[in-house]
Amino acid sequence: MAFRSLNPATGQLIREYDTWGESRIDQALQLTANAAPAWATTPMNERSALMRNAAQILKERRVDYARIITQEMGKLYVESLAEVDKCAWVCEYYAEQAKQFLADELIASDAGSSFAAYQPLGTVLAVMPWNFPFWQVMRFAAPGLMAGNTGLLKHASSVPQCALALEETFRDAGFPKGIFQTLMISASQVKSVIEDSRVHAVTLTGSEPAGRQVAASAGAALKKCVLELGGSDPFVVLEDADLEITVPAAVVSRYANAGQSCIAAKRFIVVDAIAEEFLQRFSASVQALLPGDPMQRETTLAPMVSEALRQELHLQVTDSIQAGATALTGCEPLPGQGTFYQASILDHVKPGMRAYDEELFGPVAIVIRVKDERDALRVANDTRFGLGGAVWTQDSQHGETFARKLQCGCAFVNGLVKSDPRLPFGGVKASGYGRELSLHGIREFVNTKSVWIK
């Protein structure tokens, strides 16, 4: 199997890379194993200086890196620029905060002195997806490396140029050889890497099936695992929502990145009293989205990453329509060059339909009408997923009460669900477990060691 860099907007093959064999994998694992002990004892101020270097390189190369992201996975160029900028931010954030986050924590006990010390676990293998090919990696790498761990990246096979650019960033920032490496390996090779004694923990962002496989392998090897999986995030519109701000946010939350985001709004749960007005405005805005070359600023709808995923999305849509859902707008692949799918809205979605029960990973919004707020909460929690959720109301205090009842890892009131270096990020139920970012993220892959002194 080869890693193929394919432009989704044109179908053009940009470049291919060979998959590594066992010998090359062993060399990489040994290089990391050799580098790990010295890195674990490197003073925090030296790690911080290197991480700031990485942030600076990301800023200097943002145009080049954004172009790679757009050409390789298809997102709008303006979104790619924002992704690179966010990566620089997370590097700066942990360069500044890691020392404080990992400082010894004094704990009163029967000892003369006792405390919790936070020490690196070793080497963390990251299995990462294509949809945010820089950000997903950096939100593991920045805290992980600052904690004194080394990192191995198994990136999605469709974004090899992004994977190599990330390795280049850390290398050119001055990180010692072996501290961060990209492994050009296939999905079938991941299990043996997890089982290798030179790997100490695993993190995965990806699909639910992939998460189950990686978790099973990590569990069998008794290794720490963090999973960020799919989502079917509710976007709840209460009767008193201000549609002037709610509708534009709904469009961005569903159609950014061509809808290919775990935390995109997937289920628009709208109270009947406001449903018609919301849908009239929402539909008009969705129909105005403009597909085209993602490198051009006038383009507002990007292609999907591959033909296979476009076909799967369309099958979910057509099956739901046959089961009684209404195609309010779109709901067809766009003909011609590139893997574009119309910006779409499915109305009158009900339990038992694929659109209700499954995650739709693409530019299709599903609308579920509910009679009142109580019904809205029931529907919002009626899913096996639990990543994010948002509620829209002019009473923010009431919104907080509602948000606290959502069964998810990230709840937002009058705002888009997003990941932020300052806030813990992750899900519950089939959306995974563990947390990334903030203090909580950097402490996922450390040994919390109790020290007792008499």
- Concerning whether 225 is annotated as a catalytic residue, the answer is no
Q: Classify 296 as helix, strand or coil.
A: coil
The C-alpha atoms of residue 233 and residue 378 are separated, in whole angstroms, by 13
Instruction: Please state the pTM of the whole predicted model.
Output: 0.97
Q: Of 227, 220, 188, which is closest to residue 205 (Cα–Cα)?
A: 227
Task: Compute CA distances 451 → 51, 109, 117, 193, 454, whole Å.
Answer: 29, 11, 7, 32, 10
The C-alpha atoms of residue 306 and residue 132 are separated, in whole angstroms, by 15
Cα–chain-centroid distance for residue 17? 25
Predicted pLDDT at 64? 98
Q: Please report the domains of the chain, with CATH numbers, ordered by start residue.
A: 2-229+428-453 (3.40.605.10), 233-413 (3.40.309.10)
Q: Of 327, 247, 256, which is closest to residue 282 (Cα–Cα)?
A: 247
Task: Compute CA distances 358 → 52, 117, 123, 316, 439, whole Å.
Answer: 41, 42, 34, 8, 32
Of the residues 162, 225, 262, 331, only one is catalytic, namely 262
- Concerning whether 105 is annotated as a catalytic residue, the answer is no
**Amino acid identity for residue 51 in this structure:** M
The C-alpha atoms of residue 181 and residue 209 are separated, in whole angstroms, by 25
Of the residues 228, 358, 359, 436, only one is catalytic, namely 228
The C-alpha atoms of residue 246 and residue 83 are separated, in whole angstroms, by 24
pLDDT by position in tens, the chain (length 454): 679 999 999 999 999 999 999 999 999 999 999 999 999 999 999 999 999 999 999 999 999 999 999 999 999 999 999 999 999 999 999 999 999 999 999 999 999 999 999 999 999 999 999 999 999 999 999 999 999 999 999 999 999 999 999 999 999 999 999 999 999 999 999 999 999 999 999 999 999 999 999 999 999 999 999 999 999 999 999 999 999 999 999 999 999 999 999 999 999 999 999 999 999 999 999 999 999 999 999 999 999 999 999 999 999 999 999 999 999 999 999 999 999 999 999 999 999 999 999 999 999 999 999 999 999 999 999 999 999 999 999 999 999 999 999 999 999 999 999 999 999 999 999 999 999 999 999 999 999 999 999 9
| CB burial of residue 99 (10 Å; 0-12, 13-18, 19+) | middle
Predicted pLDDT at 1? 60
Angle at 107 between CA 103 and CA 113, to 5 degrees: 95
User: Which segments of 19-101 does DSSP mark as H helices, in order?
Assistant: 22-40, 44-60, 62-73, 77-101
How many other CB atoms are there within 10 angstroms of residue 433's CB atom?
A: 16
Q: Which residue has the tokens 């606290």?
A: 404
Contacts of residue 52, Cβ cutoff 8 Å, sequence gap at least 6: 91, 92, 95
First to last CA, the chain: 58
What does the DSSP assignment read for 141-207?
HHHHHHTT-EEEEE--TT-HHHHHHHHHHHHHTTPPTTSEEE----GGGHHHHHHSTT--EEEEES-
